[in-house]
Structures are given as C-alpha cells and as structure tokens.
Structure 1
C-alpha cells in the first residue's frame, strides 16, 4: 500500500464525522455465492443522500480525494437507501 493511500485512510474519518458518515463495509474477504466480484467493496453510510452529497462535495474531502483517485482504481457511487420497512415490491409502484 502506497504512502498516499495510507495518508488518505488516516484522514478520511475526520471528513466523515461532520456528515455523520461511517463505514459499514470496509474490505474483507467476501464469500462468493452468486456471480463474480473483483476488487474491494467499501460502503459508507450517511443519514440521508444530502449528507452523503455534502460530504463528497466538502472542501475537507475534496482536499484528500486525489490521494485516492491518483493512486487507485475504483468506482464511486452515491445511492439513496431504503428504510427498514422497505419491501421488495415497493419498487413496483
């Protein structure tokens, strides 16, 4: 692991805190039960989409972002989640 990625990891938690973001998945060895996956999965949870967008656009995160993007390959997505009462059929309406 390069020094830039180490610095990114050392600094990211401070950028998440003001937006109540925290890791719920951070790497690990997945058990493949269907399909194929290559890479490392990282999931960060926020209270809502606006907090996630605020974090990603924040000056603090933008300052460390090149440490990751210039030293690793990956895809970043922001997604609106569902609550615990969500049912699979809710997407049909």
Structure 2
C-alpha cells in the first residue's frame, strides 16, 4: 500500500541552505521509490477556513520504504538544511485501497 510523506511548511527562509536541500532531496528518495505528488504552493484554492504555507507530499511504494527514506543516512545529512530554515509539521500516512468507501472507517470505530 502506498505511504505518503506529508509536510505543511511555513516561514521558509529561502536561501543557500534550502537550495542545497532542494538540490539533494531527489537523490535521497530514489533508492526508496519516492516521488513528489505535490510540491509547494502550487495553484491552491482555499475552499474552507484559512491556510498559510506550502504543502509537500511524497509517495513511497510501502511504509517500509517511506520510513527507510526518512531514516536514511543520505536524508538525515540534508534534513537540518530544511529544519533550520522552516517551521512545519511532517508525517507519514498510509493511503487507502482503490475500492475504499467513506463508510469503511466505521469498521475501525
């Protein structure tokens, strides 16, 4: 099942360290099958509430791949370039099967 790494970042200080992070992240994801699904501000339209910042979503083939990427030596080497220059939340979350229905979540309650 696909696992997503989701980040909501704000107060990003665009400078040499963020540029270095962006230049290095693709190579850290490749061994784990990671790819970008959403990256940055994009063409977002807020329909309800308020939302500031950028959304970044990566996809990985499995939870093991996503966790392996985040814990990898290569990613850990560049991670401070982002964390020292932005504020935000980052999480891993599993996707759902193609036949998922909204009521499936009731089975877990």
Give the TM interval when normalised to the shorter protein. Answer: over 0.9
Question: Taking CA–CA contacts closer than 8 Å with sequence separation of 6 or more, which of the two structures ends up with the larger relative contact order?
Answer: 2
Give the equivalent residue in structure 2 for 1:60: 74
1:29 deviation in Å? Answer: 3.1
State the 4+ residue runs in structure 1 displaced beyond 4 angstroms.
none
Query: If the length of structure 2 is used for normalisation, what is the TM-score?
Result: 0.82
User: Over aligned residue pairs, what C-alpha RMSD do you find?
Assistant: 0.9
Structure 1's unaligned 5+ residue stretches are none
Unpaired runs of 5+ in structure 2? 1-13
Which of 6, 13, 17 is the equivalent residue of 1:4?
17
Residue 54 of structure 2 is matched in structure 1 by 40
The answer to which structure has the higher strand fraction is 2
Deviations 1:23-70 (A, max 9, x none): 000011311111221110000011121111110000010000000001
1:92: which partner in 2? 106
